[in-house]
Amino acid sequence: MKIVVIGGTGLIGSQVVKNLEHEHDVVAASPQTGVDTVTGAGVAEALEGAQVVVDLSNSPSFAEEDVTRFFRTSTKNLLDAEAAAGVQHHVVLSIVGTDVIDSGYMRAKVVQEDLVRSSGAAWSIVRSTQFLEFLGRIADSATVEIAGPEVFGFDEIVRTDLSDHAPRPRARAAARDRQFVA
């Protein structure tokens, strides 16, 4: 079986390619290999004879407008090329909580998921938890300055807010028990 892994040279993609290549004909497709899903360059050629496409692509920018444009354009180009090539199944990597977390990036992932769902092709959406490789970036973005020169970690602010405003453990347990009884 021929499987094309879009984003196949990236962090996750290279591991997927490595795991699949023992039993399948796998193409690691990315701009580095001449396959650009945004412009469409090299996509049709990469998909020739493919039965499955695994989309692990990601936007170079996380600004909401940019990432939405990336996923909309890339996914549409890819799905159109798959239909023309007779690809049988589309798999896309997404993120747990995509439809409930309020962020520009997550809204862009919802756009991507919706395009895949409405494509008319067979599809799988695999929602993964965040990757440990991103912890440093997440931690850096969660350091904020509040009312002056003192810097607090986001975790500290959340802990403080929860201890100030959250119900006491006994009250939380009682509320939880009522939910199960109801």
CATH number of residue 42's parent domain: 3.40.50.720
Answer whether residue 137 is part of any domain: no
Cα–Cα dist 157/171, whole Å: 22
Same-domain check for residues 105 and 173: no
Residue 129, pLDDT score: 84
Domain total of the chain: 2
Query: Last residue of some domain: 109, 131, 153?
Result: 131
Same-domain check for residues 12 and 101: yes
Tokens of 68: 């939405």
By C-alpha distance, which of 154, 158, 159 is closest to 139? 154
Q: What is the pLDDT of residues 122-167, one digit of tens each?
A: 999 999 886 666 666 666 665 565 555 566 676 776 677 667 665 5
Q: Which residues of the chain have pLDDT under 50?
A: 170-182
**What is the span of the domain harbouring residue 68?**
2-131
Answer whether residue 41 is part of any domain: yes
Tell me, rounded to whole angstroms, the distance of Cα 104 from its chain centroid: 12
Residue 21, pLDDT score: 95
10 Å Cβ neighbour count for 59? Answer: 18
Same-domain check for residues 127 and 177: no
Answer whether residue 118 is part of any domain: yes
Same-domain check for residues 114 and 171: no
Q: Tokens 């390619």 identify what position?
A: 17
Same-domain check for residues 127 and 105: yes
Residue 145, pLDDT score: 53
Answer whether residue 93 is part of any domain: yes
Same-domain check for residues 103 and 169: no
Tokens of 173: 């347990």
Report the chain's terminal Cα–Cα distance, integer Å.
Answer: 50
Same-domain check for residues 126 and 147: no
Answer whether residue 136 is part of any domain: no
Same-domain check for residues 82 and 35: yes
Same-domain check for residues 71 and 148: no
Same-domain check for residues 113 and 150: no
pTM of this structure: 0.74
Same-domain check for residues 90 and 160: no
Three-state secondary structure of the chain: CEEEEECCCCHHHHHHHHHHCCCCEEEEECHHHCCCCCCCCCHHHHHCCCCEEEECCCCCCCCHHHHHHHHHHHHHHHHHHHHHHCCCEEEEEEECCCCCCCCHHHHHHHHHHHHHHCCCCEEEEEEECCCHHHHHHHHHHCEEECCCCCEEEHHHHHHHHHHHHCCCHHHHHHHHHHHHHC
Average model confidence (pLDDT) across the chain: 85
Same-domain check for residues 101 and 17: yes
